[in-house]
Amino acid sequence: MILLTVRDLARQFDSDPVFSNVTFDLRPGEKIGLVGPNGAGKSTLIRILAGLDDADVGTIERHSATRIAMLEQHAEFRSDRTLLDEAKSGLGPLYALQQEAEEIAHKMAEDADVASLERLHKRYDIVQAELHRLDAYNLDHRVDQVLQGLGFSPDQYDRPSSQFSGGQQNRILLARLLLAAPNVMLLDEPTNHLDIAATEWLENYLANSDQALIVVSHDRYFLDKVTNRILEMHRHQVTDYPGNFSAYWGQRAERMLVQQRAWEKQQEEIADLTDFIRKNAYGQLATQAKDREKKLARIERIERPTDFQTFSMGFPKATRTADHVIETLNITQGFGTPLFEDVTLRIRRGERIGIFGPNGSGKTTLLRTMLGELPPQKGTVRLGNGVNIGYFDQKLESVSADADLIEAIRPRHKPEITPGTLRDVLGRFGLKGDMVFQKVSFCSGGERSKVALARLAMLDINVLVLDEPTNHLDLWACEALEAGLKSFNGTLIFVSHDRYFLDRVATHVISIDAGKVDYFEGNYSDYHALHKLRADEAAERAAAKAKPAAVAAEKSDRGNPDKSAKRKRQFPYRRVDEIEVDIAQHEESIVKLQADMVDPEVLRDGRRAKQVFDELNTAQTELVQLYAHWEEAMELN
């Protein structure tokens, strides 16, 4: 069954097409990542698939059973509708079925006509079968699961949706779409307003869902976890790659290498033929030269492969600072309830510090307190000798909207710098040609981010402080920024929710959550692995403490037949030692599967990676059941 068939789709706004000849199919359960540089037409294609825009050429065929829904980008909520009202509206058809089942049941209780009762019974059976097929018996639990997974708490359920922040309202739209569960979901940057915890929840939810989806995202970890196919939009065309993002990245590099070698080999052949023809056109070998001309004319020319625009976001060499660049001594900060208390940090020269945590936890507040923009309520902040800070704010207010790009990056204390030098710097950040003369206000979000970063490259700074620098950058700009920051010899402090960026750039991380500030040596994956290890060890200690108590309870129950008789088994009878053998085997299997999940060979094979991920989820689910079975056996055997 094919849910969606796209054939020869094209869209053009000016002289150059946005894309052309776009052709692909979408089948049930497929999860496609749509990637490409900013401006390649990803959002335009999503809108056309959703029916919100029309293609100039081409066709889109939908199966009769296909229900397509797109994640809305702008929220308009009625003032009388609460968060819970909006979330439940995604389940409107299921609630209507439940209501119909209740009404039919009442009618059957009151109607005495045999023929009428028979009709009602048939309809009731149909409705119940549909409710069972759609798993519609526990809808409130499903609503709780989605809302809490996206970061909402039950005490917010009755709050009017119009009173939430813009980012929270976008999460409400996402919750409504997930609960509606169309069999084709179109998601354009669904993680934009999510913190790391909510993003990881969404990854697991989508990866385990039955719905097909097409998602636009710059989050490389998200694409790795969710997708099993990648469509790359580049130079007006779409190229299809099997597997997740890591598989695509490797395949793309190999394909580019093969194409480059094929082009170079053909160029050598063309050069040899041309040289032979030139030397022998009128000599004794003229006949062979004519044959060479015919051969040359028959060659089907290979187009030279072109990669995405590459650039180097380099920063100037930093002057030396004191060993301790920034020190916070027992600082407390917050309004009303403090965001954090008694925080002492020492940032050393040359460190690259990544700060992460839930939305509203105080990441930007900590950053601004370190900079001295916000005085701490308690404690002190000290800057080391020779420290010159360059700050990138996520609202991009550091660049004047009324200036052209050249003047926007010109340092105030260096009026003598020539426009040519400024253009060279802008070019290193991917801003070239006539666009350098346009106003910043006409730039896209990604272009404004590049202007703000280029401005920092013009300053004499030795400490870079960046607040969400990758928010508007495409995948290739992120790669360039990562390379530039890793080669910067000064000190770097940055806030980010991009786990891939945190892994590639940070040498140390600071986690902020529920008022606790945790400093850790290593990147995000190192921190996450340690955090998981500690959680596993705590669970093991709790299980070890519970085991003697369970044995004691079992002995007690043997002497109390009345108490024992009241319990009922949930699982079939099995000996405790047999279950423990199964638990050990599952734990060994999980360790092996977790190792496979980070094996480059597995990641290069998208289907194998998806298979390993599914097997890991199954093993972990079965292990939870085995532990529950073991506890019951310890108590009742």
Mean pLDDT of 104-120: 80
Q: How many CA atoms lie within 13 A of 487 on its CB side?
A: 13
Average confidence (pLDDT) over 310-331: 90
Q: Are strands 17-26 and 4-12 parallel, antiparallel or unpaired?
A: antiparallel
User: Given 3-state DSSP classes, what are the helix, strand and coil percentages for the chain, each rounded to the nearest 5?
Assistant: 50, 20, 30
Place 597 in a pLDDT band, splitting at 50, 70 and 90: low
Q: Which of 38-42, 228-232, 617-621 has the highest mean pLDDT?
A: 228-232
Q: Own/partner pairs for 621-625, CB < 8 Å, 24+ apart?
A: 622/586, 623/583, 623/586, 623/587, 623/590
- Residue 605 pLDDT class (50, 70, 90 cuts): low
Please tell me the predicted confidence (pLDDT) of residue 247. Answer: 93
Distance CA 13, CA 395 (A): 29
DSSP H or E segment with residue 312 = none
Closest CA to 473 of 505, 445, 502: 445
CA distance 56 to 184: 23
The residue with tokens 């989050």 is: 219
Dist. CA 83–CA 161, nearest whole Å = 5
Percent of the chain, pLDDT > 70? Answer: 93
List the structure tokens of 400.
């004047």
On the question of pLDDT at 564 being above 60, the answer is no
Looking at residue 566, its pLDDT comes to 46
Q: What distance in Å separates the CA atoms of residue 440 and residue 450, rounded to the nearest whole number? A: 11
Tokens standing for 133? 């097929």
Give the per-residue pLDDT at 99. Answer: 86
CA atoms within 13 A on the CB side of 94: 21
The pLDDT score that the predictor gives to residue 610 is 65
The C-alpha angle with vertex 585 and arms to 581 and 587, in degrees rounded to 5, equals 115
Type of residue found at 348: R
Task: Locate 29 and state its tokens.
Answer: 């359960």
Q: How far is CA 198 from CA 171, 359, 480, 535, in A?
A: 10, 10, 27, 19
Query: Mean per-residue pLDDT for 169-191?
Result: 92
- What count of other Cβ atoms lies within 10 Å of the Cβ of residue 481? 23
**pLDDT tens-digit map of 496-530:** 999 999 999 999 999 998 888 999 999 999 988 88
Q: Rounded distance, CA 84 to CA 434, Å?
A: 50
The model's confidence at residue 613, banded by pLDDT at 50, 70 and 90, is low
308 pLDDT exceeds 70?
no
Work out the average pLDDT over 221-244.
92
Confidence of residue 637 (pLDDT cuts 50, 70, 90): low
* DSSP helix/strand/coil, 293: helix
pLDDT band at 122 (very low <50, low <70, confident <90, very high): confident
**Quick check: 563 pLDDT over 50?**
no
The mean pLDDT of the chain is 87
Check residue 255 and give its pLDDT: 85
Q: Which of the pair, 463 or 79, is modelled with greater confidence?
A: 463
Question: 10 Å Cβ neighbour count for 557?
Answer: 17
pLDDT at 184: 94
Reported confidence tier of residue 72, pLDDT bands at 50, 70, 90: confident
What is the model's pLDDT at position 234? Answer: 85
More confident residue, 220 or 598: 220
The pLDDT value recorded for residue 463 is 95
Question: Which of residues 611 and 597 earns the better pLDDT score?
Answer: 611
pLDDT for position 510: 94
What is the pTM assigned to this prediction?
0.75
Tell whether the model's pLDDT for residue 109 goes beyond 80: no
The stretch 298-302 carries a mean pLDDT of 89
Query: How large is the average pLDDT for residues 614-618?
Result: 76
Radius of gyration of the chain (CA): 31
